[in-house]
Amino acid sequence: MSADRFDGIRIFRREVQNTGTVGGTEATAAGLEAVTANLPGGENADVRTYLTRTLSERFREAFFAKAVLIVEGPSDEAIFSAAGELLGIADLAANGITVVHVGKGSQPIALAILRALGIPIYCVFDADANATDGEACETCGRQKRNRSSAEASNRKVLHALGATEESFPPAAVTETWACFHEELEDAIPGFRNHAAAVANEMGWRGKSPEAYGEAVRRVGKAALPAELVEILEKVMALAQATAAAEAG
């Protein structure tokens, strides 16, 4: 699936009448206009460019999901997948849930794409309140803008979610999105120590999905923060509601 062929996407769903009977098939068509309408102002100059950046092979699986959990990176995806295992959700995919990582900067376009297709979404991001602007590079003279970049991204994501824009929002779990004030890893007691130990033992990169997934398993179910558990419960509820609607 390429950005040039995005207009050709069709999702077919069984249409359930008010009486509870299945009345036929409903088709939802993708369109650049619908995606543009869901984008924050100033980000719709070249929609196809955003589509090209976002339509990864993994993201395309979201088109077949009953609910989509959008996270920032592959390590976040590993955390939620491993947490799901600990909570007795043997396989999120088996429950119709697709977890996709797109980067915080691409979350607004991901939201716009899935909304245009009528796919239920739950979005999770880090506010990165602990980020700092670094000193200027000795070679190029440019200053790192980690905190400034995080602030701008937070506002764009919150705008796309229809929430009040804040520079560094507090931790929150709502019906359709969640935010960790600093980083997801910091919400899990002892997580970073476990991740470092796993990476050292296995020779993996410290923030690799494999190391993060194993670190969650070592932390154990009892230490999972309430926020993480609640997020998975809400995503499951979205998927179950979709399944119920399709079953009529």
Q: Per-residue confidence of the chain (248 residues) as pLDDT tens digits?
A: 555 566 666 666 556 555 555 556 666 666 666 666 666 665 555 666 666 666 665 677 888 899 999 999 999 999 999 999 999 886 788 889 999 999 898 898 889 888 888 899 999 999 999 998 876 555 555 555 689 999 999 999 999 999 999 999 999 999 999 999 999 999 999 999 999 999 999 888 878 999 999 999 999 999 999 999 999 999 999 999 988 887 76
The pLDDT, as a whole number, for residue 223 is 92
pTM of the model as a whole: 0.81
Domain of residue 163, residue span: 34-188+224-247
pLDDT at position 50 is 61
Residue 140 lies in a domain: yes
In a domain, 2, yes or no: no
The answer to whether residue 238 sits within a structural domain is yes
Say if 105 falls within a structural domain: yes
Cα–Cα distances in Å, from 8 out to 5, 31, 59, 213?
6, 8, 17, 36
Residue 143 lies in a domain: yes
Which pLDDT belongs to residue 107? 92
Question: Which among 228, 83, 134, 156 is positioned nearest to 169, based on CA atoms?
Answer: 156
- Confidence (pLDDT) at 206: 76
Give the single-character DSSP code of 118: T
Residue 163 near residue 151, CB atoms below 8 Å: no
DSSP assignment string, 7-65:
GG-EEEEEEEPTTS-EEEEEEEE--HHHHHHTSPTTS-TTHHHHHHHH--HHHHGGGG-
pLDDT for the residue 23: 56
Q: Assess if residue 1 is contained within a domain.
A: no
- Identify whether 94 is part of a domain: yes
State the pLDDT at residue 12. 60
Q: For the chain, how many structural domains are there in total?
A: 1
| Cα–Cα distance for residue pair 135/147, rounded to 1 Å | 12
- Which residues is 67 bridged to in the sheet? 97
Look at residue 92 in the predicted model and tell me its pLDDT.
Answer: 87
Residue 20 lies in a domain: no
Give the whole-angstrom CA distance, residue 246 versus residue 11.
13
